[in-house]
Amino acid sequence: MPSSLTASRLPPLPGNNPGRLSWGESLEWNVGLLETIRLDNCDKALIRQIEQLRTSGETGRTLPPPPECSLLTKDAQKEH
């Protein structure tokens, strides 16, 4: 199993001044938090697929990406 699927992923830090967020900074921070959640959901779905293939004994078979991974941005897909 690739280590990238089980590695810790930290959410982005909020704004330039963590004690005080502007309205725009809070919106940008929320986008980053949601992207982190999407990436984690994709990782979990990929792990489930790997485990499904492992327990079924099927070798050499590939599955399509799970639906949880279809919403990833192009930058996030490069991470995987």
pLDDT in tens, 7-64: 888 887 777 776 788 888 889 889 989 989 999 999 999 889 888 888 888 777 777 8
Domain boundaries, the chain: 23-79
| Rounded Cα gap, residues 60 and 68, in angstroms | 23
Whole-number pLDDT of residue 2? 77
Supply angle C-alpha 73, 75, 80, rounded to 5. Answer: 95
Q: What is the pLDDT of residues 50-61, one digit of tens each?
A: 888 888 887 777
The whole model's pTM is what?
0.69
